[in-house]
């Protein structure tokens, strides 16, 4: 075989491989469960394809499940199953039967639900609203939006009238030189503010809320028959323990916050340090179960972590203050404040963290970079803890803090010179003694 023939065969193999890789993944129509689980801090999104036989949910809270038919394919790049929701999504009619130890304990029908976002369109955590409350809240939101557009239309008309009046006044001033008092000028209209909060459209799904335990679920049709591929195991789990976690923002690297989740952790500092802290509620869950709940479409999620546990940060502790104790006595009590991070001017790399003052000219129209409690701790051993608005110590918030003195470079050099100095003193002393002995002998 000539070199040219080998080269042609190699190019053909490369071309075949490229075509094979570029080919779209094979899709298969499946009956699946679309799942919107409450993760402890927000509502997530995952689904259970036909190849997954067990669903995981947190105990004693509302989750959304829906039985759907869609196209499913495996995406090898991210090693996960994908659903073609945009082109293929059909709701499978029926009811959700929940069984425990082979006995039916609930038969759920679909009910209306919606997500309320108090902080705006898909901003922050959402609240699940169900039943008639969902319909009323969505209608309230629609009315608020319509009212805003009506006020915006009225504002445009009023603004146009205001500009015409101001134009007439300016023309009169230019022609006659007349001056107008402030009370003679038209009042500019105030622009309306759109509703910040947002409510999704109302749809119907199964709302599942169960105590911790092992269950099984299945979808049954109107005749009471099992819908194919809808029988799944269901594990409902709860946290092992709860506590308070700290999100620690060092002044020297504010973009890389540290975490302290466990009461047994000791915070070590070097010298005098300034740091910013947030206190959040936290729960500890089995890592395998939690990752399966949030990423059920990924076969490898949670693998090998059956005996491991992980802390999940929830909402911030409301009205929290941090107390610093030294020798059991409170030496500082710090409340949260807003701060702003400003870049250093010029070519130097760095930044300054300053108190956020909305009235400061350089901060007009800006928002705080973050809000936290500022701690300034010098060398020594301390304890920190969180107290709530009633002054009560929040359980699980106590931490040990140990700050040690730093050793400068000249101190290290001095320390390394001590053996040489001692050696020199010993040599000189021996010489002196030897001279004295020789003088005595002479």
E-assigned strand segments in 23-160: 28-36, 46-48, 54-58, 63-75, 80-83, 89-91, 95-100, 103-108, 111-117, 127-130
pLDDT interval class at 255 (50, 70, 90): confident
Cβ contacts of 42 within 8 Å, gap of 6 or more: 125, 126
Q: Quote the CA–CA distance of 114 and 167 in Å, as a whole number.
A: 49
What pLDDT does 16 receive?
45
What pLDDT does 99 receive?
96
Per the CB < 8 A criterion, the answer to whether 70 and 52 are in contact is no
- 170-174, 256-260, 358-362, 417-421: least confident range: 417-421
Residue predicted with more confidence, 297 or 352: 297
Q: How far is CA 254 from CA 141, 337, 373, 381, in A?
A: 38, 15, 13, 24
| Two tokens, residue 59 | 């105990």
Beta bridge partners, 329, equal 326
Dump pLDDT digits (tens) for 110-131. 999 999 998 887 777 889 999 9
Return the domain boundaries, the chain: 25-238, 241-281+307-404
- Tell me, which fold does domain 241-281+307-404 have in CATH? Coagulation Factor XIII; Chain A, domain 1 (2.70.50)
Question: Which helix (H) or strand (E) segment is 219 a member of?
Answer: strand 213-220
Give Cα 93 distance to the centre of its chain: 36
Per the CB < 8 A criterion, the answer to whether 205 and 96 are in contact is no
Dump pLDDT digits (tens) for 201-242. 999 999 999 999 999 999 999 999 999 999 999 999 999 999
Per the CB < 8 A criterion, the answer to whether 288 and 306 are in contact is yes
Q: Quote the CA–CA distance of 301 and 294 in Å, as a whole number.
A: 9
Kindly report the pTM of this predicted structure.
0.78
The radius of gyration of the chain from alpha carbons, rounded to an integer in Å, stands at 34
Q: Quote the CA–CA distance of 374 and 278 in Å, as a whole number.
A: 9
DSSP secondary structure, 180-210, as one string: --GGGSPPPPPPP-----EEPPPEEEEEE--
Dump pLDDT digits (tens) for 37-83. 999 989 999 999 998 999 999 999 999 999 999 999 999 998 999 99
Residue 320 has pLDDT above 70, yes or no: yes
């Amino acid at each position: 075989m000539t070199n040219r023939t080998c080269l042609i065969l190699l190019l053909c193999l490369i071309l075949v491989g490229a075509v094979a890789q570029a080919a779209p993944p094979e899709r298969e129509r499946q009956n699946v469960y679309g799942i919107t689980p409450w993760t402890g801090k927000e509502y997530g999104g995952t689904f259970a394809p036909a190849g997954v036989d067990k669903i995981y949910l947190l105990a004693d809270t509302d989750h959304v499940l829906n039985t759907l038919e869609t196209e499913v394919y495996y995406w090898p790049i991210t090693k996960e199953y994908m659903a073609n929701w945009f082109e293929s999504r059909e709701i499978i009619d029926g009811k959700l039967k929940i069984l425990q130890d082979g006995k039916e304990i609930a038969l759920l029908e679909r009910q209306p639900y919606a997500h309320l976002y108090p902080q705006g369109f898909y901003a922050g955590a959402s609240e699940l609203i169900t039943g008639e409350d969902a319909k009323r809240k969505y209608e309230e939101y629609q009315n608020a939006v319509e009212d805003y557009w009506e006020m915006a239309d009225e504002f445009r008309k009023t603004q146009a009238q205001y500009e015409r009046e101001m134009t007439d006044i300016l023309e009169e001033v230019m022609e006659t030189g007349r001056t107008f008092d402030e009370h003679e000028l038209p009042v500019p209209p105030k622009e309306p503010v759109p509703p910040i909060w947002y409510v999704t459209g109302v749809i119907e799904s199964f709302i599942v809320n169960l105590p911790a335990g092992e269950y099984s679920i299945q979808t049954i049709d109107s005749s009471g028959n099992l819908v194919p591929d809808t029988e799944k195991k269901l594990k409902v789990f709860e946290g092992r323990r709860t506590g308070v976690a700290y999100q620690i923002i060092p002044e020297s690297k504010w973009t890389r916050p540290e975490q302290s989740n466990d009461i047994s952790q000791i915070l070590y500092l070097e010298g005098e340090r300034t740091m910013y802290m947030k206190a959040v509620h936290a729960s500890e869950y089995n890592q395998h179960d939690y990752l399966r709940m949030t990423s059920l479409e990924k076969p490898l999620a949670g693998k090998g972590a059956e005996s491991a546990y992980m802390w999940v940060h929830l909402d911030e502790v409301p009205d929290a203050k941090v107390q610093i104790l030294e020798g059991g006595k409170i030496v500082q009590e710090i409340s949260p404040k807003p701060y702003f991070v400003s870049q250093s001017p010029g070519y130097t790399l760095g930044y300054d963290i300053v108190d956020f003052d909305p009235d400061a000219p350089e901060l007009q129209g800006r928002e705080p970079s973050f809000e936290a409690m500022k701690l300034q701790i010098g060398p020594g051993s301390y304890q920190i803890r969180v107290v709530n608005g009633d002054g009560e110590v929040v359980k699980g918030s106590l931490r040990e803090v140990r700050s040690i003195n730093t050793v400068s470079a000249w101190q290290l050099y001095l320390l390394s010179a001590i053996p040489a100095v001692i050696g020199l003193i010993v040599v000189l002393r021996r010489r002196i003694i030897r001279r004295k002995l020789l003088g005595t002998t002479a």
